[in-house]
Chain A
Amino acid sequence: MLDHEQIRTGAVQESDFTEVVASVRRFVRERVAPLEQEIEETDEIPAALRAEAAEMGLFGFAIPELYGGLGLSMSEEARLVCELGYTTPAFRSMFGTNNGIAGHVLLEGATEEQKKTWLPKIASGEWTASFALTEQGAGSDPSGLATTAVRDGDDWVINGSKRFITNAPLADVFMVFARTDPHASPSRGITTFMVEKGTAGLSVGPRDHKMGQAGAWTADVYLDNVRVPSSALIGGEDGVGRGYATAMRCLAHGRIHIAALCVGMSQRLVDESVSYAASREQGGAVIGTYQLIQGLIADSATDLYAARALVADVAARFDDGSDKRIGPSCAKYFASEAVGRIADRAVQIHGGSGYIRGVPVERFYRDARLFRIYEGTSQIQQIVIARGLLAQAGS
């Protein structure tokens, strides 16, 4: 179990954190935003930008200081991620798996020794880490995953295939979820292994052609008699059968992270909408003087405000331990649906231009669509929220 008190040791002082946010804000707006179109066209984050992001510390802000990161609390992380959301989500995705799902697998499930050896490489960006859970037959319900790991002497032999794995083409390490006990219930029969790039039998498929988020790569991962030593077993012998529980805990943190990202993108879309409405003229007046356009802007600003406040509140409750399950799902559900509505209105405000490649809102409209799908679809969030409440009511 992750000890959140431990995570908070060496917590960043508020005055330092304000500077961290300011530095990231400038970096995102001055350095990344001007490259958005290039990233879109080349489907690639320039290597120099990756190096600068690593130098800055962006690969490890959610990893404790003890392991080479910054050790932000959830509330702080949410504030920082809002800034990252202001530009193409491919930029955040580059280090999103390190700070998020993949890095958290180690934080939640690894032994102290594993954390000390592996996390500093993840926090510094020396390694890119991927989280390999989803399979062809196991998406929304990962408990049905078919990848297996079988003990063979001191080793484990893994077989199966994963799909839609973010950063797989770049990854140095993969957190692979495999069934180790076919007879146990899913919540006890799944185990996590850290598989290094180049291990015999491990291969990565071609990059998926996605609707949006160009520059962020996903691909299939194939495991064909991949032999790993027992040291690759996350959590050591005690980790056997604990993979499913670990994955679920990683997702709760990740959901708040994604919600904050949606808030950042929403802010950008509102800014784009307002500046376009304030300058575009039709019928002898700027379109922003028309009340029907004002209605779109007001609805988007209200959605943004609500999402921002919700994320802040949920993050605070996550930090004090009072709600680590229902709140994160509410935040991810609302903020991802809200950014979809806001992107739709932004395209509408831009008229024909909003439908043309090269115009930011057109790109964000496609980019935003993913947020309602990955790290738990909206339907899965609804289920988590409702089941959680009903369980509290004792039904």
Chain B
Amino acid sequence: MNIVVTVKQVPDTWAEKKLDAADKTVDRVSVDNVMNEMDEYGVEEALKIKEAHGGEVTVVTMGPAKAVETIRKALSMGADKAVHLTDDALHGSDALQTSAALAKVIATLSPDLVITATEASDARGGVMGALLAERLGLPQLTQARKVTVDPAAGKVSIERLADNGYALVEASLPAVVGVVEKINQPRYPSFKGIMAAKKKPLTTLSSGDAGLDAGSVGLAGAGSTVVDSQPAPPRQSGTIVKDEGDGGVKIADFLAAQKLI
């Protein structure tokens, strides 16, 4: 199995997420950055499939120079090689542009399986998997809580998370699969894995190297841009209902006033 797994570097979960004042893109400079947590599940799943069926896991990311830390993390977990698409010209790309760029890179790798997570914790578009599948012309299975591949039959099937149970869905390979957190328990990089990571092949591509037109990527050419943003208003303090024998009625009145009953 030739498996590609996409990973994105995002501001640490605990960090206050801010937009750059000038161009309203995510501030990735003044915060600690980590691998998008859900992508750890994607990497783990790719490694498990490789361990079961053999093959190779390639990590693909698009992001600033610092995103190489996230690549290292995936390599130290056990991925075999990586492609890092990085270029100042890519800064500010929207979801459509990002998917076009990633698809171009992924296509050159001719994968049997592409694994993405369901969403990245910074922009939370939750669209990348679908966009990639469309651009690569591949079937997409989403919300997978279990993945089973059958390379001989050229098939992949998943248990697709649903509100009250799951659905069994299958697709022919090659395919794009989006995983959820319930799927596995990502491994912690072993000491040997960490030491080996730096020696693994890493290809760094500029947008030109990847064959992307200069005008097709980046803030200037983006189809959609963030114009302004406001922090969520602080939560109002709650209403205290004093029970003087009529507490139940007061609560019912309150709920009715909120149009909740």
Contact = CB atoms under 8 A, between A and B. Distances in A.
Given A19-B76, A19-B194, 16 more contacts: A12-B195, A16-B194, A20-B194, A23-B188, A23-B189, A23-B190, A23-B194, A31-B188, A52-B187, A52-B188, A55-B187, A56-B191, A57-B190, A57-B191, A57-B192, A70-B191
Most buried by B among A20, A31, A61, A70: A20
Nearest to A19: B194
Contacts, number: 33
Nearest to B72: A19
A118 to B, nearest CB: 20
A4 interface: no
A355 interface: no
A27 B191 CA distance: 12
Given A19-B72, A19-B76, A26 B194 contact: no
5 contacts: A16-B194, A19-B72, A23-B194, A24-B188, A57-B191
Interface string B45-84: 0000000000000000000000000001100100000000
Interface in B80-134: none
Contacts of A12: 195
Contacts of B189: 19, 23
- Interface size class for chain A? 10 to 19
A147 B17 CA distance: 64
Contacts of A70: 191
B24 interface: no
B134 to A, nearest CB: 35
B198 interface: yes
A237 B80 CA distance: 47
- Interface size class for chain B? 10 to 19
A16 B198 contact: yes
A23 B40 CA distance: 13
Interface string B174-217: 00000000000001111110110010000000000000000000
Interface in A54-79: 55-57, 61, 70
A70 B189 CA distance: 14
A27 to B, nearest CB: 5
Nearest to B191: A57
A12 B72 CA distance: 16
B188 A26 contact: yes
B231 to A, nearest CB: 24
Contact of B190 (A26, A31, A56): A56
A12 B188 CA distance: 18
Contacts of A55: 187, 190
Contacts of B192: 57
A270 B189 CA distance: 28
Contacts of B72: 19
Interface string A12-32: 100010011001101100010
A206 B191 CA distance: 35
B233 to A, nearest CB: 25
Interface string A105-126: 0000000000000000000000
Contacts of A31: 188
Contacts of B190: 23, 55-57
A178 to B, nearest CB: 35
Nearest to B189: A23
Contact of A61 (B73, B76, B187, B191): B191
B191 A20 contact: yes
A275 to B, nearest CB: 15
A52 B185 CA distance: 12
Contact of B195 (A16, A24, A52, A56): A16
A82 B33 CA distance: 24
Nearest to B69: A19
A173 B102 CA distance: 53
Contacts of A57: 190-192
Most buried by A among B72, B189, B190, B194: B194
Nearest to B198: A16
Interface in A224-257: none
Interface string A163-206: 00000000000000000000000000000000000000000000
A19 B35 CA distance: 13
Contacts of A16: 194-195, 198
Contacts of B195: 12, 16
A29 B43 CA distance: 21
A27 B187 CA distance: 9
List the 7 closest A-B pairs by CB distance, nearest first: A57-B191, A27-B188, A23-B189, A19-B194, A56-B190, A70-B191, A23-B188
A31 B195 CA distance: 22
B198 A56 contact: no
Contacts of A61: 191
Interface in B140-172: none
A72 to B, nearest CB: 9
